[in-house]
């Protein structure tokens, strides 16, 4: 008897490219297994799951999280700018204008 399959999406974006692939995986598949099955690790060199966080719909999750039908897996890139510093600069800019 064949295992039941569910559809999930794997997403990754760089400054120059977006990667979005739908993948059919067996029920009980983890985030890490679905990422490997999607081919993103072959298509985009440099993704390191040991250091880059992953998540579902904007919420960080562990690689061993079991997927549900329709989940969207996101592989996050390191931040280029410190969010606190960016907010500080915007606040300073607003203060100068006022």
What is the residue extent of each domain of the chain?
5-97
pLDDT single digits (tens) 34-79 = 999 999 999 888 899 999 999 999 999 999 999 999 999 999 987 6
For residue 5, give the DSSP letter.
Answer: E
| Domain 5-97 belongs in CATH node 3.30.70.260 | no
Burial of 59 (0-12, 13-18, 19+ CB in 10 A): exposed
Burial bucket for residue 73 (CB in 10 Å: 0-12, 13-18, 19+): buried
What is the rounded distance in angstroms from the CA atom of residue 85 to the CA atom of residue 69?
38
Q: Which of 9-18, 42-51, 72-81, 86-95 has the lowest mean pLDDT?
A: 86-95
Contacts of 55 (CB under 8 A, 6+ apart): 61, 73, 74, 76
**pTM for the full model?**
0.76
């Amino acid at each position: 008897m064949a295992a039941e399959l569910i559809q999930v999406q794997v997403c990754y974006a760089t400054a120059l490219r977006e990667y979005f692939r739908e993948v059919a995986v067996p029920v009980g598949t983890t985030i890490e297994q679905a990422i490997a099955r999607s081919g993103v690790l072959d298509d985009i060199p440099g993704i390191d799951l040991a250091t880059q966080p992953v998540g579902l719909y904007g919420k960080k999750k562990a690689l061993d999280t079991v997927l549900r039908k329709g989940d969207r897996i996101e592989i996050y890139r390191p931040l280029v700018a410190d969010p606190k510093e960016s907010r500080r600069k915007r606040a300073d800019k607003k203060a100068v204008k006022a």
